[in-house]
Amino acid sequence: MRILVVEDHGETRRLLVRILRENGYVTEGVDSLAAAHRSLGMESYDALIIDWMLPDGTGLDLCRELRARHESQLLLILSARGEVGDRVCGLDAGADDYIRKPFSVAELLARIRALERRGPRLRDDVVHFGAVEVRVAERRVLLEGREVSLTTREFDILELLLRRRGQPVSRSEFLEALWGRDDERAASSLEVLIARLRRKLSPGGGEGPIGTHRGFGYSIDAPG
């Protein structure tokens, strides 16, 4: 996995680069939006760790730009701003996750592993499979042209399945990526949510597009 760190504070940037390299990630660090654009023009990265405040703009500007171009890199905002409203702004700008400074190295690495397990963002604005249409950016689902009401967690499950479409996703991957823990309570919630999602996506009955891999997890049919 190749990671670009966009952080103008030299000590923090060097620390992040060193930690990530020590943990097996191919990592480079830059100190501005302009430098990030140069690096993105020369290399391909799987993920970016982006500081909110940069000398020539904000990390949110970069997130919005990449999402407007339908880029699929995993984006993690790193910021001293930790209020709920700030986190919402970061996620609404297109970030996949948000971590507050000062940060725990163990938590940062765990967040990166969770993003890595979820796989790349969906590149398509709209994904079709059968009679189902998923409008990814809007987080909306239509079935035969009619709106399907999904909870936030149900859509998160559907999005993870679509990111890994055609491949099984283990129960433990769901639990760690979406709940941050693998315990009996989260596992029970997952089973309930999968059952609800199936009913909503296949009103005629049956499993619909979500398949079960007994003793392992779930998958979704590759969209046509």
Residue written as token pair 């930790």: 82
- Domain extent for 182: 126-220
Q: Are 81 and 59 in contact (CB under 8 A)?
A: no
Q: Are residues 17 and 107 in the same domain?
A: yes
For the beta carbon of residue 3, count every other beta carbon within 10 angstroms: 23
CA 56 to CA 62: how far, in whole Å?
11
pLDDT tens digits for range 165-197: 778 888 888 887 778 777 788 888 899 999 999
User: Partners of 30 in the beta sheet?
Assistant: 6
Q: Are residues 90 and 162 in the same domain?
A: no
In this predicted structure, what is the pLDDT of residue 139? Answer: 80
Last residue of a domain, one of 71, 101, 118: 118
Structure tokens at 85: 């409203």
Domain count, the chain: 2
pLDDT tens digits for range 93-148: 888 888 888 888 998 998 888 888 766 666 556 888 878 888 877 788 998 888 99
Q: Are residues 80 and 131 in the same domain?
A: no
Residue written as token pair 């904000």: 58
Q: Are residues 23 and 101 in the same domain?
A: yes
Residue 157 pLDDT > 60, yes or no?
A: yes
Amino acid at 121: R
Q: Out of 10-14, 42-46, 175-179, 213-217, pick the least confident.
A: 175-179
Q: Kindly report the CATH number assigned to the domain that includes residue 152.
A: 1.10.10.10
Average pLDDT over residues 22-39: 95
Structure tokens at 64: 């919005």
